[in-house]
């Protein structure tokens, strides 16, 4: 099948920049295992949806052929800089821009030097790809609801298939959203709220079992109670791209990042 791999991964920089801290190092190790799985899948292209690339007016797609630079996260700058070096599948990106009209989404290309690549995309590329495969990067329009985001993932996947790509799907974002609002001893990092921890584990268990119907039933309560990153729209994108057709998943790692929930999940296709 054209989709050769799919991953749900965290986008905060801590596992990349501070892997020597045990809670974040465990996520870094999980990310590395996912990276080996991605390498074994040998995708022609990796389609990335990151909750941290925010758009407002239109759906944005990166179309600059080569992106290289150094990013400083606007919140976690004290942990270090984030270098990146990425190649973009411009043919597929432009095709997606055209294809989204069919679902009522206006898309536009982004192509200028020094465009601020978001932290989540950089972290995912670092662990899963290291620049070896070209990327398609699409933004998170804050006005797109769950259904619209599912449609966006489906269009991106179908367009890749029409161009004959062996592609991987990557949804970048967190789980429960509550963070500690004060300085913490980072070695003692934990999920901020035990109830959010329970909700995270419930959702991950449903994904592991491939129970899409059960997942849909609990998502409204999960979104209300745990306040996941952007309503978990990165999962909506994956479900759309996979046409809800997967046979379970492997959770390579789950843990805290400054109190928020984070997991590295590999879908079984």
Domains plus CATH for the chain? 3-267 (3.40.830.10)
pLDDT, mean of residues 79-83: 97
- Look-up of token digits 């791209």: 241
DSSP state of 189: -
Please state the rounded mean pLDDT for residues 238-254. 97
Provide the percentage of residues in the chain whose pLDDT is more than 90: 99
CA distance 51 to 124: 12
Residues 155-161: what's their mean pLDDT?
Answer: 98
95-133 tens-digit pLDDT? 999 999 999 999 999 999 999 999 999 999 999 997 799
Which residue has 């759906």 as its token pair?
Answer: 59
Q: What is the pLDDT of residues 8-52, one digit of tens each?
A: 999 999 999 999 999 999 999 999 999 999 999 999 999 999 999
Which residue carries 């080569």 as its tokens? 66
- Note the pLDDT of residue 22: 97
Determine the pLDDT at residue 1.
66
What pLDDT shows up at residue 130?
A: 77
What is d(CA 258, CA 24) in angstroms, rounded to the nearest whole number? Answer: 9
Query: 169-208: per-residue pLDDT in tens?
Result: 999 999 999 999 999 999 999 999 999 999 999 999 999 9
Cut 0.85: pTM above it: yes
The first and second tokens of residue 247, run together, are 């046979």
Coil, helix or strand at residue 38: helix
């Amino acid at each position: 099948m054209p989709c050769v791999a799919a991953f749900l991964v965290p986008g905060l920089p801590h596992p990349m920049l501070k892997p020597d801290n045990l809670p974040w190092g465990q996520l870094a190790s999980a990310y590395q295992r996912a990276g080996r799985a991605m390498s074994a899948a040998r995708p022609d292209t990796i389609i990335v949806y990151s909750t941290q690339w925010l758009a407002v007016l239109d759906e944005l797609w990166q179309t600059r052929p080569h992106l290289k630079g150094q990013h400083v996260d606007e919140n976690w700058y004290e942990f270090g800089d984030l270098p990146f070096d990425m190649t973009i599948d411009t043919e597929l990106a432009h095709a997606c821009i055209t294809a989204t009209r069919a679902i009522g989404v206006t898309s536009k290309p982004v192509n200028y030097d020094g465009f601020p690549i978001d932290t989540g995309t950089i972290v995912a590329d670092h662990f899963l790809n290291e620049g070896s495969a070209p990327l398609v990067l699409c933004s998170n329009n804050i006005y797109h609801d769950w259904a619209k985001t599912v449609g966006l993932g489906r269009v991106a996947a179908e367009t890749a298939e029409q161009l004959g790509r062996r592609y991987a799907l990557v949804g970048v974002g967190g789980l429960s959203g509550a963070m500690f609002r004060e300085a913490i001893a980072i070695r003692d990092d934990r999920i901020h709220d035990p109830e959010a921890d329970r909700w995270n584990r419930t959702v991950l268990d449903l994904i592991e079992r491939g129970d899409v119907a059960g997942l849909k039933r609990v998502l409204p309560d999960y979104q209300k109670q745990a306040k996941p990153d952007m309503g978990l729209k990165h999962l909506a994108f994956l479900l759309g791209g996979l046409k809800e057709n997967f046979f379970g998943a492997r959770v390579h790692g789950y843990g805290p990042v400054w109190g928020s929930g984070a997991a590295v999940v590999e879908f079984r296709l």
